[in-house]
């Protein structure tokens, strides 16, 4: 079966921390708790993970970022309830200001919505190349059993009208007006199931089975199936005549990643020629698609590596990072609010990581807005260019005493990028892996959460170093 929509490449990302389910259970006097879940560090969220996964997919596709016609992003909870979530991510990825797309949100089904929206745009000819990103950092209600399953992660695929090694030939959707896990406007965390047995027997398994059986007619080799409680994924696989789903390894590594779970559970299976069935579930809907890979998809082989690792964290640290455990006392705000002229005028160069290349001598001046004259020759003729995302440490310092809202230790590094530019940035972690000459990469992170607004910028991370948390404001 053929399809005009092709999959060019894939990418994935996972947060810096891992929380043991047994530690969560013990905190509430319960026994058991199996496996672990991914938890964001204070400077990570759905947007930073989406940026990392999207960058990996675009790099694997071998495309210039500005040829992407649209970004389709699915997440249950975007960082701005109303605001520029989509625009901030598009800018951080270096996409053209003319790119379109959509932000899909509201339920764990949002990742599938994004995939189908992008696929429809390609099929209709309104987009030639589309980037699909599904990302989530689920916030479970404190004390619920969902805390032992709620994880974080991101998946991305690049779609186009031709090329690539895989296609999307089939989709099936079923809508049923039932209530599963949900979050109302007044809830900080997601509510757990009211009746787990009722959900299992009369909601989840019948709907997933209905969708899965239609996909199974295409001789599916591997499955990505939803697994809300650690057992239902395997039960769903049995109802459609399959073995253990391939997505089980992803759930074991980072937990239930919500809107990202369907794609994230499928991408690793695209490292060889096979047919993969993908089922997404949530918000009263279940959707299944088939990804038919004729050969390995670019980037699929690195998905497992992206999900591995992570630093152990405590339950208290996880609550702090999610904003569910806050210190009492004064909260000293930034001197400049995020909606001020400084951020409005500098947003593109901060999120797009831009520099000003001198037309006369070629020196790249950073940041562009504070250098009206070239630092090398004094010229005033510049062209704006994106900065390289890799470099080496020229020098660094680790601050052990910092005023609020920052937390010590806070490492800062001067970095010589491979394109000749020099920048000074915060470093992810405590600075223990810093050394002069160390190779680093620049990645998007959340610097602060100020007046209800997340503030994003780039930080340096040692290449091959530990994925540790930053000492930034939580």
Q: Is the pTM above the cut of 0.85?
A: yes
Query: How does residue 346 score in pLDDT terms, banded at 50, 70 and 90?
Result: confident
Per-residue DSSP letter, 368: G
Residues 276 and 360 in one domain: no
Residues 263 and 216 in one domain: yes
Residues 6+ apart with CB under 8 A from 405: 331, 332, 333, 334, 448, 450, 473
Residues 423 and 453 in one domain: yes
Residue 172 lies in a domain: yes
CATH code: domain of residue 187: 3.40.47.10
Residue 112 lies in a domain: yes
CA 312 from chain center: how many Å?
Answer: 20
Per-residue pLDDT tens over the stretch 186-223: 888 888 888 889 999 999 999 999 999 999 988 999 99
Residues 190 and 281 in one domain: yes
Residue 250 lies in a domain: yes
Query: How does residue 472 score in pLDDT terms, banded at 50, 70 and 90?
Result: very low
Per-residue pLDDT tens over the stretch 129-154: 999 999 999 999 999 889 999 999 99
Per-residue DSSP letter, 254: H
Q: What tokens were used for 371?
A: 């250098």
Residue 183 lies in a domain: yes
Q: Is residue 468 over pLDDT 70?
A: no
CATH code: domain of residue 373: 2.40.50.840
Domain of residue 32 covers 6-321
Per-residue pLDDT tens over the stretch 407-466: 789 999 999 999 999 999 999 999 999 999 999 999 999 988 887 889 999 999 999 754
Average confidence (pLDDT) over 157-185: 91
Residues 63 and 26 in one domain: yes
For 178, list phi and psi in degrees, rounded to 5.
-105, 160
| First vs last C-alpha separation in the chain | 50
Instruction: Give 310-321 as a DSSP string.
Output: -EEE-HHHHHHH
- Helix axes of 341-351 and 85-92: crossing angle, nearest 10 degrees: 40
Boundary (domain end) residue, out of 293, 321, 349: 321
Per-residue pLDDT tens over the stretch 274-305: 999 999 999 999 999 999 999 999 999 999 99
Per-residue pLDDT tens over the stretch 36-94: 999 999 999 999 999 999 999 999 999 888 899 999 999 999 999 889 999 999 999 99
Do residues 163 and 60 make contact, with C-beta atoms less than 8 angstroms apart?
Answer: no
Based on its alpha-carbon atoms, the radius of gyration of the chain, rounded to whole angstroms, reads: 22
Give pLDDT, residue 330: 59
Q: Is residue 467 over pLDDT 50?
A: no
Give pLDDT, residue 178: 86
- Is beta strand 17-20 parallel, antiparallel or unpaired with respect to 311-313? parallel
Number of independent structural domains in the chain:
2
Is 369 buried (19+), middle (13-18) or exposed (0-12) by CB count in 10 A? Answer: middle
Do residues 259 and 134 make contact, with C-beta atoms less than 8 angstroms apart?
Answer: yes
Boundary (domain end) residue, out of 292, 321, 350: 321
Residues 308 and 370 in one domain: no
CA 198 – CA 156 distance, rounded (Å): 33
Residues 294 and 378 in one domain: no
Q: Is residue 252 over pLDDT 80?
A: yes
Q: What tokens were used for 335?
A: 């001197």
Boundary (domain end) residue, out of 321, 356, 372: 321
Q: Is residue 471 over pLDDT 50?
A: no
Residue 443 lies in a domain: yes
Residues 284 and 380 in one domain: no
pLDDT greater at residue 208 or residue 472: 208
Nearest to 255 by CA among 222, 292, 220, 227: 227
DSSP E strand boundaries for 62-215: 70-74, 100-104, 129-137, 152-160, 166-175
Query: How does residue 374 score in pLDDT terms, banded at 50, 70 and 90?
Result: very high
Residue 110 lies in a domain: yes
């Amino acid at each position: 079966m053929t399809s005009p929509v092709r999959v060019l490449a894939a990418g994935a990302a996972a947060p810096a921390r891992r929380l043991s389910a047994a530690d969560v259970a013990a905190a509430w006097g319960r026994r058991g708790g199996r496996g672990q879940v991914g938890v964001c560090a204070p400077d990570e969220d759905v947007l930073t993970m989406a940026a990392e996964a999207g960058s990996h997919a675009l790099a694997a596709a071998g495309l210039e970022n500005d040829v992407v016609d649209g970004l389709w992003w699915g997440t249950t909870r975007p960082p701005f309830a109303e605001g520029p979530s989509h625009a901030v991510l598009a800018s951080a990825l270096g996409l053209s200001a003319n790119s379109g797309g959509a932000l899909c949100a509201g339920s764990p089904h949002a990742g599938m919505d994004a995939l189908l929206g992008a696929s429809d745009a390609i099929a209709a000819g309104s987009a030639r190349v589309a980037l699909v990103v599904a990302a989530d950092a689920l916030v479970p209600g404190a004390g619920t059993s969902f805390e032992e399953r709620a994880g974080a992660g991101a998946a991305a695929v690049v779609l186009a009208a031709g090329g690539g090694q895989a296609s999307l030939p089939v989709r099936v959707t079923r809508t049923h007006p039932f209530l599963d896990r949900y979050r109302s406007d007044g809830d900080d965390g997601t509510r757990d199931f009211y009746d787990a047995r009722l959900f299992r027997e009369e909601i989840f398994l019948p709907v997933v089975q209905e969708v899965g059986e239609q996909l199974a007619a295409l001789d599916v080799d591997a499955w990505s199936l939803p697994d809300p409680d650690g057992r239902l994924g395997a039960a769903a696989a049995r109802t459609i005549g399959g073995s253990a789903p391939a997505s089980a390894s992803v759930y074991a590594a980072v937990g239930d990643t919500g809107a990202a779970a369907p794609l994230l559970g499928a991408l690793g299976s695209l490292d060889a020629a096979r047919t993969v069935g993908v089922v997404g579930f949530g918000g009263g809907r279940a959707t299944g698609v088939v990804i038919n890979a004729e050969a390995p998809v670019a980037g699929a082989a690195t998905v497992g590596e992206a999900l591995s690792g992570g630093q152990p964290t405590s339950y208290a640290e996880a609550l702090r990072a999610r904003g569910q455990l806050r210190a009492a006392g004064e909260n000293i705000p930034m001197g400049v609010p995020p909606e001020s002229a400084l951020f409005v005028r500098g947003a593109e160069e901060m999120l797009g990581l831009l520099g000003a290349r001198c037309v006369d001598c070629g020196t790249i001046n950073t940041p562009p807005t504070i250098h009206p004259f070239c630092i090398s020759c004094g010229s005033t003729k510049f062209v704006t260019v994106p900065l390289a995302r890799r470099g080496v440490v020229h020098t660094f310092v680790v601050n052990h005493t910092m005023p609020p809202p920052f937390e010590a230790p806070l490492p800062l590094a001067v970095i010589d990028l491979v394109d000749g530019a020099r920048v000074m940035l915060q470093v992810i972690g405590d600075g223990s892996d810093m050394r002069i000459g160390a190779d680093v990469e620049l990645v998007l992170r959340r610097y602060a959460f100020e007046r209800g607004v997340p503030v994003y910028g780039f930080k340096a991370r040692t290449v091959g170093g530990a994925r540790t948390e930053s000492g930034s404001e939580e």
